[in-house]
Amino acid sequence: MITVDAMKKSSETDQIPLKWVGMEKVLVPVHLELAGVKSNIIAEFDIFVNLVNPSKGIHMSRLYELLIQYIQRESLSLAGIRGLLENLVSSQNGLSTDAKIGMSLVLPVTVKTLKSEKNYFKSVPLQFSFIFNSAAVTTEMKFRLDYSSTCPQSAALAHQLTIAELEKHSSFSGAELTSWYAQRGFIATPHAQRSELDLSVVLSNEFELGNFADVFLGIEHALGTPTQGIVKREDEQEFARLNAANLMFCEDAARKLTVFLKTAPQLRSGQGKVSHLESLHSHNAVAYFEF
């Protein structure tokens, strides 16, 4: 029987180095432990090495085998993924010097309602990028967070109309004015919208998956107007109060986030984009920032 091996057929172009070679969208089950609770989830991996020495191609199956060995051996951790990178390079027998892993998964964050003291979950899709280069590892994390924003200018204009209407009834006693306003209702309301933060951060090597909830909740606290899951009447009323107390242009949101993220432990640097999905306009108001 004749054995044919395409890897042994060389050509002049085999000398050309390649930035990354590997596989994308590898779906595997992983063990995850957060706050002492163990769970099984599906994570998606992209696994690459560079190709710098002459060869028809890399030993691709070895990348897959090393990933499977890792997830079967231990619970998922960022430190574990960082450790896997060097093994990917070693598996190529001198063909590679660098490695890259992309990882996508959905992480639950436990959140408490504003007033009714009930717990609910926010499921946050996370994307990680690990790059091994010159014996050092760079780790980046990306995610999206939504929040509410009420336009300061709209609030000011609504307030102006309300004052003008109240001045027409300046002769009323306090009780008469209260009764009139209770029956009259709002003169005008400011416009608010669901808004989005897209964030990309460079992590320190001390950052772990268990730290993510602190960052997520810290961002929500810095903005002051997080979107809600389950709500009772008292929660919705508190949400309305918070929006009035935290009026924001997109510029305001970007600056609040810059201040918080600069002081957040285990975040080295990053950049973000806030988008206020306008209810007044059919376009979005957007601000970019760095920290």
Domain limits, the chain: 6-151+191-290, 159-184
pLDDT confidence tier of residue 4, bands split at 50, 70 and 90: very low
Percent of the chain predicted with pLDDT > 70: 97
What local confidence, expressed as pLDDT, does residue 182 receive? Answer: 78
Residue 10: pLDDT over 90 = no
Q: How many CA atoms lie within 13 A of 138 on its CB side?
A: 12
Helix 250-263 with 212-223: angle, nearest 10 deg: 140
Block residue for tokens 């009714």: 116
Model confidence band, residue 165 (pLDDT cutoffs 50, 70, 90): confident
Share of the chain above pLDDT 90, in %: 79
The distance from CA 188 to its chain's CA centroid, rounded to whole angstroms, is 35
Task: Count the Cβ atoms, other than its own, within 10 Å of residue 27.
Answer: 9
What's the rounded Cα separation, in Å, for the pair 248 and 223? Answer: 9
Q: How far apart are CA 280 and CA 136, in angstroms?
A: 48
CATH superfamily of this structure's domain 6-151+191-290: Urate Oxidase; (3.10.270.10)
pLDDT at 185: 75
Which tokens sit at 75?
């619970």
β-sheet with 18-34: strand ranges across: 18-34, 37-51, 99-112, 119-133, 136-150, 192-203, 267-276, 285-290
Tens digits of residue pLDDT in 81-138: 999 999 999 999 999 999 999 999 999 999 999 999 999 999 999 999 999 998 899 9
